[in-house]
Every structure is written in structure tokens, then in C-alpha cells.
Amino acid sequence: MAKTSTTTQGLRAAIERSGYYPALVAEAVEAAIGGEAIRSYLVHQETTFDANEVRRHVTVLVLTGNRFIVSHTDEQNADTTSPTPYATTSTESVKLGRISSVVVSRVVANPESYAPGTLPREVVLTIGWGAVARIDLEPAACGDPNCEADHGYTGNSTADDLSLRVSEAGDGPETVRQALAFAQSLSEATADPAH
């Protein structure tokens, strides 16, 4: 990763601003990017509550000319496998041609007075490339309330390899803007017939 690139420096600065093991996260992301130029990126640090524990994780999304890179880092408390707390970092590199869907859901307040360009209150970015599919099944039924026949099952299959939610209240307006910009860049890249 060329250290002179403005986009590369911006990515590094965003990882450092997240405050979440920046050296570890940056090394994993830079190794996945290799020498490719960065077209767009999004860094999202999130804190969750699990029973009485607070857990943090960071997701870094990077778009290059040929690939979509996802890096995810979680911290774990000491457990039976490790006497000390530890972090797990994974990266996945997806060829742009494999991305089958980019879904952007926007939540806006007072839609009756919406003005173009107004920042949504919340954005959910869902990206599918076929690595993960969820199947939801339920018993099928007919319209007869007295029917006791077995009608099998009905359901649906959803491909959502990655779903990322950002909100103005929780993440700030700049993160919402960055999520929208990244989604637009990714959508445009996947529409390119060269991929």
C-alpha cells in the first residue's frame, strides 16, 4: 500500500480515529489490499453489549479497482482457549464480479418535507456475494382453519453476506455520508461490465 496516496492516508487516519487496535487493523487491511489503489473505503467501529460485557468491533470496507475487501476485528475476553483477552481479525477479498447485490436502506425523518440532499437519519448497507445465505422456513398452511393436513413448509432464502448499520445519532453525520458515498462507489463499480 503506497504511503503517499491521499486515499490510503485517509484510510489509515480513519482506522486510527476509530481507536480500535489501529496497528492490528491497519496491518490486516494493508495486507489484503496489497499494491492496489483504493477507490473508496468505510471504517465503522461499533460497541455492543453482551449480558454484562461490553464488546467492541470494527469493520473496514475497501473498494479497489478489482476487489471489495472486508476486514472485521473483534475483541474477546479471556476464556478457556486463552488466559488473556485477545482479538480476532479476518479479511475477505471478493472480486467485484461476484457481488450480486448492493442494498442501501435509508431512514429519513419527516418524509413529507424531505428535501433532496438531506442526510438520512440512518443507513443500512447490505452487500451480497453468495458466501452466506439464510433460509427462513415455517410450516405452510391453507385457508381452512379446520384443516389438519401437512402442507409442508414455506420460506425464503436471503443472501446477505454483510449488513452494516450506521446512524447519525450513534456514529455521526460524517459516517453516514461516508456510508452513502461508499455504497454509491460500490454500486457503480459492480455496474461496470468489465467486472
Q: Give mean pLDDT, residues 128-133.
A: 73
Q: What is the pLDDT of residues 118-130, one digit of tens each?
A: 999 999 999 999 7
Q: How far is CA 132 from CA 20, 42, 73, 85, in A?
A: 26, 21, 19, 29
pLDDT-derived band at 134, boundaries 50, 70, 90? low
In a 3-state reduction of DSSP, which class is residue 195? coil
Report the C-alpha gap between 71 and 26 in whole angstroms.
10
Q: H or E segment at 48?
A: strand 38-50
- What per-residue string of b and e applies to 32-46 under the rule 16 or more CB within 10 Å gives b? bbeebebbbbbbbbb
Could you give the 3-state DSSP secondary structure of residue 185? helix
Q: Output the pLDDT for position 119.
A: 96
Q: What percentage of the chain carries pLDDT values higher than 70?
A: 90
pTM of the model: 0.81
Residue 136 pLDDT: 67
DSSP 8-state symbol, 79:
B
Query: Coil, strand or helix: which one is 153?
Result: strand
* Span 30-58, pLDDT tens digits: 999 999 999 999 999 887 777 777 778 89
Cell numbers describing residue 33? 489490499
Instruction: Give 175's pLDDT tier (boundaries 50, 70, 90).
Output: very high
Q: Where are the domains of the chain?
A: 1-96
E-strand ranges in 51-188 read: 53-64, 67-76, 86-95, 101-107, 122-128, 133-139, 153-159, 162-167
pLDDT at 88 exceeding the cut of 50: yes
pLDDT category, 4, cuts 50, 70, 90?
A: very low
What DSSP state is assigned to residue 80?
T
Least-confidence region, from 31-35, 82-86, 93-97, 167-171: 82-86
